[in-house]
Structure 1
């Protein structure tokens, strides 16, 4: 019955491509609660930006399914791969300063013994890392192994890779002489006022953090990183992460031309994340961020998936509209398309790419 009500509600909010949503805050609030309930997501935190200003922020549910501690705006979630855009932003600051060349082979800054047996790796640049064209797998088969294998020649095509970000992280540490946590604090977290964020676990998080939940809503073990990893270790809040959107919208911390380059197509995306060689029209990867280009408008987006934590961001650069949300359940990405439809608006190739289609799922459930 819940699916029938939810599906009827969402159908009323359908939006055509490129048109902003007309959802009221009350409608959004009601829809989010129903989405969470249907997907068995215990807690969620969301921020909606309109015309370059935070217009709405709301926390829902509980930090842990069997607890009474409610999620609030300061509840810390795992950001998973939403770590990557922040790292790209910091890397581009080094580019602005002339300390890093996007197109200089990374081995000239720091050789990488993990893949040194394959000379093709000497073609890898920061640009190829940030646009996911290194040729590396997402992760090596044995995460404890010191051996990394190239799947294809660098620059050949898009292939999402956390390994590339790890290599670039090592290069940045070599260039700056700083541990990556300190570098990111000084370049991103402190300047942007992200006071509830860190790439390693902080004792201050203990009082208010979200717990992970599997597909059945059962609580899992919480990951508390002791070492920063620029592919996935960020812990943050939705209001903190919204500050990153505002920095991009206003070219804060980067030259306007560098922001333009960050949000310009570097590689075209396939129609699906895996299993497809067909390219998607208007769908690209920029420097550290996904892109969609339509006549007169640019969207940028990314998702995060650490298993039992899911998150998503979507922004319209032209209108300066954006949404970010964090969820503490394995099903938390299932309704990303509906959250975007109700806020930023439009229909987006990002969701077929990720295999997300809540309307189809809700429709099938409503017929049972």
Structure 2
């Protein structure tokens, strides 16, 4: 039986339609399915139930993907709109908003914060009068990460301001209070108007929103057991941001493509303020090419500049690494205590490069995986 021209036309059309549909449903870059396989293997090995990721290439989001489940024993899968705790990835957004105030002449990076607002919690130590916004954002305030008793109104300094790098959430809390005094706004409203709304971060907030209830990641410990979900009623610029990977990618793009700040201000934000030690704790040796800028980590080589940050809220982990030169970046959020263990592998699969950030944080997935395999 000979096919009619009409039948041949229909078959050809149907074949092209199927091929077109398959092409739309499959990643165009072979690196994407390779990344998917790697992420699933890493999650399985590290006992991480869920993860959401966004990959930026040449100044735009080229790929976003979600893996696993919002809760280990549930059937709700993580998707691109699943809300995770951003932990310390909150800090760069706050720095970005603070620098807007600097551009407007309402805040001086090098004016002592006490001139804007005295801080009774640490007033017994006169050294605190030397703390500035620049020192807070570059983690040289001299304040501890957190006070020994979080319920206490007493805060003790650990070193003189400007002396050396010393990661401090308390410094960000003080600067938050100063910003509220300068603007006359609650910090959550200020951040919504300055960052979230302008950048289109529609699934993000610094306090818990009822809309999050339908699709949020739950925390898991190292064994995969579900913990109690923290739902902040008050915004804290050190750690309270709740967001999605695509939303956070919008912020990363604002830095890469210079949006919301003047080019000179972004240059200042991403310029070295203090050199980092080789390890986060327990090392006085400085790492070559490894610095902290204004609110974010930096790595510089003769050819390229990277910026990065990590987040650790216990059972929530996250990481961002960006190549400013190539405008490439990756950000991911995980709902398991081991979710930072493989940050170096995800960066290797996406942005690439050699990074002192990982020895600084004590992350070496391949060494750990090799040790685990040897002990089996």
The Cα offsets for residues 40-76 of structure 1, whole Å up to 9 and x where unpaired, read as 0000000000000111100000000000000000000
Q: Paired residue for 1:8?
A: none
Larger radius of gyration: 2
Q: Is the 8 A contact 1:140 1:148 kept in 2?
A: yes
Count of matched residue pairs: 347
Q: Paired residue for 1:27?
A: 34
Is residue 176 of structure 1 aligned with residue 175 of structure 2? no
Alignment of 1:16-165 (within 5 A): 24-165=31-172
Q: TM-score, normalised by structure 1?
A: 0.94
Q: Paired residue for 1:324?
A: 331
CA shift at 1:365, angstroms?
Answer: 2.0
CA shift at 1:23, angstroms?
Answer: 6.9
Q: Paired residue for 1:232?
A: 239
Task: Give the CA RMSD over aligned residues.
Answer: 0.8
Q: Secondary structure at the match of 1:192?
A: coil
Q: Secondary structure at the match of 1:222?
A: coil
Is residue 306 of structure 1 aligned with residue 313 of structure 2? yes
The Cα offsets for residues 86-132 of structure 1, whole Å up to 9 and x where unpaired, read as 00000000001110000000000000000111111000000000000
CA 137–23 in structure 1, closer or farther in 2 if over 3 Å, else same: farther
Q: Paired residue for 2:19?
A: none
CA distance in 1, matches of 2:373, 2:58: 36
CA distance in 2, matches of 1:265, 1:23: 36
Q: Is the 8 A contact 1:23 1:342 kept in 2?
A: no
Q: Paired residue for 2:22?
A: none
Q: TM-score, normalised by structure 2?
A: 0.92
CA shift at 1:366, angstroms?
Answer: 2.4
Gaps of 5+ in 2: 1-28
Gaps of 5+ in 1: 1-21
CA distance in 2, matches of 1:289, 1:35: 26
Selected match of 2:359 from 344, 352, 357? 352
CA distance in 1, matches of 2:303, 2:270: 14
CA distance in 2, matches of 1:116, 1:269: 28
CA distance in 2, matches of 1:239, 1:179: 26
CA distance in 2, matches of 1:28, 1:250: 25
Selected match of 2:195 from 183, 188, 198? 188
Q: Secondary structure at the match of 2:161?
A: coil
Q: Secondary structure at the match of 2:197?
A: helix
CA distance in 2, matches of 1:139, 1:366: 37
Selected match of 2:341 from 316, 324, 334? 334
CA distance in 1, matches of 2:224, 2:30: 29
- Structure 1: 4+ residue segments shifted above 6 A: none
Q: Paired residue for 1:284?
A: 291
